[in-house]
Amino acid sequence: MKPVRIVMNGSRGRMGRAILALAQQDAAFDVAGEVDQGEALEPTLANADVVIDFSHASVTPAVTTACAAAGCALVIGTTGHSDEERAAIKLASARIPIVFAPNFSIGVNTLFWLTKKAAEILGEPFDLEVVEMHHKLKKDAPSGTARHLAEILCETRGWDYAKDVRHGREGMVGERTDREIGMHALRGGSVIGDHTVVYATVGERIELRHIAESRDTFASGAIRSVAWIVKQTPGLYDMQDVLGLRD
């Protein structure tokens, strides 16, 4: 079987370097191109099966357009997208298969699944909060993973992310309402990624927590998604699909 030909966009970033290191050790993959800021993606696509994008959300529309035109599958690991940038991903997925995930860790994706199940079981009496912490160089807040956790909770409760997620609290905000999810983003040091979902009611509290200790956990998940996406038809997928966790 021929190796899957990969182009890494964002090749000199922390995640790009980690993914390339794993891909270069595996005979199932061939690194066909490495692209970073200021370099053109299009010339590398003629020899590519999949583009892995860990660059910046602002370039997502250009990346999706180029991949769709070349017929290359796409794995997107950047976060912090605007509604317009998310729309560009959706549009391109009509022509090519795309894995778009806020986090590629197998453990975090298990957390996504558990978050939904716990919210379904515990129900309305439990207040919901999300707390995340990352290194001080992270540019977007909350993290894409924390946002997705809140989106899962909103979907389970039938709530709206834009209206019902409260980003931090300050001053005389009054009592906590029955319809809100607190979102809290911490930044400092070299923390790779901590995420906690809190379910609290009178007399008891449950916390689901994931702690990332190495970027290799994300890189290995991204590589796994590459092997999966090349076998798929055009559409928009995430790691729940890759791991077979979709209900």
Show which residues are catalytic: 134, 138
CA distances from 96 to 31, 100, 147, 154 (A): 20, 12, 25, 29
- Residue 191 tokens read as 């923390």
- List, in order, residues 6 or more apart from 132 with CB less than 8 Å away: 142, 143, 145, 146, 184, 185, 186, 193, 194, 195, 196
Q: Alpha-carbon distance 68 to 36, whole Å?
A: 19
Q: Are strands 165-167 and 181-187 parallel, antiparallel or unpaired?
A: parallel
What length does the chain have?
A: 247
Reference 208, options 140, 121, 111; nearest CA is 111
Give helix 106-122 / helix 216-229 axis angle, nearest 10°. Answer: 90
8 Å CB contact between 89 and 60: yes
Q: Are strands 204-212 and 193-201 parallel, antiparallel or unpaired?
A: antiparallel
Which residues make beta-bridge pairs with 195?
Answer: 132, 210
- Residue 231 tokens read as 């076998």
8 Å CB contact between 77 and 54: yes
Rounded to the nearest 5 degrees, what angle is found at the Cα of 104, between the Cα atoms of 100 and 108? 120
